[in-house]
Structure 1
Amino acid sequence: MNDQPKGVGRMWNLYKMGGVTPAIASILGSQNAQQMAFIRSINKEQRKQPMLETPLSEMEYVVFDLETTGFYAANGDEIISFGAVRMIGDRIDKEQTFYSLVNPKRRIPASITELTGITNEMAGEAPDLMQTLHDFMEFVGKRLLIAHAAGHDKQFLNAALWKTSRVSLNHRVLDTMLVGKWLEPKMESYGLDEVLAANGIPITQRHHALEDSLMTAKLWQIYLRKIKERQIVTLGDLYAYLSNY
């Protein structure tokens, strides 16, 4: 990537020879080294999580949303905000939320500012990607991730993890759009606005990462109840039904 941290090539040569800590510390400094080590550790531990047999009613979730400068991480678009809320089963914990702007270190298009309300001045004062990603992953822990139209968010989260820490996302990501297509097959559109309206969920503030996360969490509450009515108990059971979508 063209916007890798300075010295990243040397860092990964050092990594091959001497391990993560001295390599990272020598290039990025101790704080970034600690943040990167934490992100790598969380990601590694996630591989050990046996989730498929866990009842959906007992599962811990983080419902999240990202706002970005555009649609394609591979073309240089960047994350400009993270939003998330924790759930246990169908209970939303509004005391456990996460929200942060991110400094994308590039200009935010006027169309994105109009859509999200995030200006270049606001983003310029925000933490950098490494800091915010560290804080977000700490908030997520080992929980299952949920997002609406999750392909977009997963693409950018993967790109951020690779850019900062040279890892890919190991967390499972459940897409409420996919669940909606299975539960409500006759809808014409499965955009967030349409599925919220179809399920009687008030729209508060769209394209704000935390507000979108909270609305998606309310959608997941409703979907969980519908899933339960179909005698589907575990995440593995649900994946089996979603496999055709």
Structure 2
Amino acid sequence: MKEEPKGVGRMWNLYKMGGFTPAIASMLGSQNAQQMAFIRSINKEQRKQSLLDMPLRELDIVVFDLETTGFYPSNGDEIISFGAVHMKGLELNESRQFYSLVNPKRRIPRQIIELTGITNEMVQDAPDLMQVLHDFMEFLGRRLLLAHAAGHDKQFLNAALWRTSKISLNHRVLDTMLVAKWLEPKRASYALDDLLEDFGIPITERHHALQDSLMTAKLWQQFLIRILDRNITTLGDLYAYLSKH
């Protein structure tokens, strides 16, 4: 892992010793210090609520996806785009979307450019990670997160939160791949493309963070109908069933 710059280490030591806001502001800059404080407050608030008793028909969800330069944040791979859309129960609110490129401050590998269509020129003037993470957390609020094959996205989101704000994600993350494995245990493939095709969901632009979020949201709509048909009505009930598979 890369060693933290001395200034960042000193800032964090000051924060742990009492949170000297002027000292943090002088090292990070006042805007970054405010963004860090906001990210930490959103994450802290999330610990105060439990969504387990919430009816699935009323559950506020943010379906999200990240595009990255590779698979391993611990080896220097970075987020290059965030995409997300809001749902409440079965209702997909396509007007409430979030999308932003991120300047990864490193070169994007050729294979990632070919996969995502995101070039080095496109991210050159994009906002940095702290700014986009702040905006994403503001969009997210205290809602449940949902993604397909969520391990990758959660790993990068956790790494980003730790690097910028020294926190780990408190939000619950529901994985549509795990739901698919529970609903259809004998499927040959749980890849997003195959699930979209089999459920009759038009494939628009794959490996675009916002488009992947929208398609995953439409997949979740169909899964949720089947879940409710099984008389599973709360998030806690769903987690209980998923834990057995």
- SS of the equivalent of 1:70 reads coil
Equivalent residues in 2 for 1:26-41, closer than 5 Å: 26-41=26-41
Any conservation in 2 of the 1:196–1:202 contact (CA below 8 Å)? yes
Which residue number in structure 2 is paired with residue 164 of structure 1? 164
Taking the aligned partners of 2:39 and 2:51, their CA distance within structure 1 comes to 20
Which residue number in structure 1 is paired with residue 108 of structure 2? 108
Matched, 1:214 2:214: yes
Which residue number in structure 2 is paired with residue 244 of structure 1? 244
Taking the aligned partners of 1:232 and 1:20, their CA distance within structure 2 comes to 48
Taking the aligned partners of 1:214 and 1:3, their CA distance within structure 2 comes to 37
How much has 1:3 moved relative to structure 2? 6.8
TM-score under structure 2 length normalisation: 0.97
How much has 1:46 moved relative to structure 2? 0.2
Taking the aligned partners of 1:58 and 1:224, their CA distance within structure 2 comes to 12
Taking the aligned partners of 1:205 and 1:23, their CA distance within structure 2 comes to 45
Which residue number in structure 2 is paired with residue 75 of structure 1? 75
Equivalent residue letter for 2:73: A
Taking the aligned partners of 1:120 and 1:23, their CA distance within structure 2 comes to 34
Cα RMSD (Å) of the superposition? Answer: 1.1
Any conservation in 2 of the 1:116–1:208 contact (CA below 8 Å)? yes
TM-score under structure 1 length normalisation: 0.97
Taking the aligned partners of 1:26 and 1:2, their CA distance within structure 2 comes to 23
Percent identity (aligned)? 76
Encode CA deviations 1:175-226: one digit per residue, 9 max, x unaligned. 0000000011121110100111111111000000000000000000000000
- SS of the equivalent of 1:92 reads strand
Taking the aligned partners of 1:45 and 1:168, their CA distance within structure 2 comes to 13
Equivalent residue letter for 1:45: E
Taking the aligned partners of 1:241 and 1:189, their CA distance within structure 2 comes to 21
Which residue number in structure 2 is paired with residue 90 of structure 1? 90
Any conservation in 2 of the 1:20–1:37 contact (CA below 8 Å)? no
Encode CA deviations 1:85-135: one digit per residue, 9 max, x unaligned. 000001000110000000000000000000000000111110000000000
Encode CA deviations 1:44-65: one digit per residue, 9 max, x unaligned. 0000112000000000000000
Query: Which consecutive unaligned segments of at least 5 residues does structure 1 have?
Result: none
Which residue number in structure 1 is paired with residue 199 of structure 2? 199
Which residue number in structure 1 is paired with residue 118 of structure 2? 118
Q: CA 1:36–1:20 in structure 2 vs 1: closer, same or farther (change >3 Å)?
A: farther
Any conservation in 2 of the 1:12–1:23 contact (CA below 8 Å)? no
Which residue number in structure 1 is paired with residue 183 of structure 2? 183
Which residue number in structure 2 is paired with residue 231 of structure 1? 231
User: Which runs of structure 1 show a deviation greater than 4 angstroms over 4 or more consecutive aligned residues?
Assistant: 3-6
Q: CA 1:203–1:128 in structure 2 vs 1: closer, same or farther (change >3 Å)?
A: same
Encode CA deviations 1:125-177: one digit per residue, 9 max, x unaligned. 10000000000000000000000000000000000000000000000000000
Taking the aligned partners of 1:20 and 1:94, their CA distance within structure 2 comes to 41
- SS of the equivalent of 1:205 reads coil
Taking the aligned partners of 1:56 and 1:20, their CA distance within structure 2 comes to 42
Equivalent residue letter for 1:146: L
Matched, 1:134 2:118: no
Q: CA 1:4–1:102 in structure 2 vs 1: closer, same or farther (change >3 Å)?
A: farther
Which residue number in structure 2 is paired with residue 21 of structure 1? 21
Equivalent residue letter for 1:197: E
Taking the aligned partners of 2:43 and 2:23, their CA distance within structure 1 comes to 19
Taking the aligned partners of 1:10 and 1:127, their CA distance within structure 2 comes to 25
